[in-house]
Amino acid sequence: MIRGCKGSLALALAGVLSSCAFALDFDELQEGGEPSAGTGGSSTAGTGGEAAAGGSEGGAAGAAEPGIALEDAAAVLAETMCSKLEACVGAAAVKVLLADEDCAVAVESGLANTFIANIQQSEANGTLEYDGSAVPTCLEAYDTLPCEEVAVTFPEACKQALGGLLGEGEDCSHSLECEAGLYCSADACPGTCSTPLQDGDPCTEIDTCAPGSTCFQGACAPLGGEGDDCGAELLPECVTGFVCLNEDTEMMTPGNCFSAKDVFVLSQGQPCNLGGTPTLCRVGLSCPLVIGATCLEPVESGGACDLALPDMCPEGEYCSFGNPNCLPLPGAGDPCAPGILLKPRCQAYLRCVNEVCRPLGDNGDPCGDAAECYSGVCGDSGECAASACQ
DSSP type of residue 115 = I
> Which is nearest to 64 in space by CA: 159, 175, 142?
142
Q: Is the pLDDT of residue 346 over 90?
A: yes
- Round the average pLDDT of the chain to a whole number and report it: 81
* Residue 329 in domain: no
Q: How confident is the model over 84-134, as pLDDT tens digits?
A: 999 999 999 998 889 999 999 999 999 999 989 999 999 999 999 999 999
In a domain, 73, yes or no: yes
For residue 214, tell me if it sits in a domain: yes
Domain of 218 in residue numbering reads as 3-257
Integer Cα distance of 238 and 35 in angstroms: 9
Cβ–Cβ under 8 Å, residues 373 and 365? yes
Tell me: the pLDDT tens digits for 191-235?
A: 899 999 999 999 987 788 988 899 999 999 999 999 999 998 999
Q: How far is CA 167 from CA 156, 190, 359, in A?
A: 14, 14, 38
Residue 134 belongs to a domain: yes
Residues 118-133 as b/e (b if ≥16 CB within 10 A, e otherwise) read: bbbbbeeeebbebebe
Is residue 313 in a domain?
A: no
Q: Is residue 317 part of a domain?
A: no
Residue 110 lies in a domain: yes
- 378, 3 in Cβ contact below 8 A? yes
Q: Which of 319, 277, 269 lies closest to 295, judged by CA?
A: 269
Confidence of residue 152 (pLDDT cuts 50, 70, 90): low
The pLDDT value recorded for residue 146 is 85
CB within 8 A of 153, min separation 6: which ones?
29, 32, 145, 211
Number of structural domains (the chain) is 1
Contact call for residues 319 and 312 (beta carbons, < 8 A): yes
Whole-model pTM above 0.85?
Answer: no
Residue 53 banded pLDDT, cuts 50, 70, 90:
very low
* Pick from 105, 46, 98: nearest CA to 283: 98
Residue 35 near residue 44, CB atoms below 8 Å: yes
Long-range CB pairs of 199-206 (<8 Å, 24+ gap) are 205/5, 205/6, 205/36, 206/388
Least confident interval from 13-17, 55-59, 258-262, 325-329:
13-17
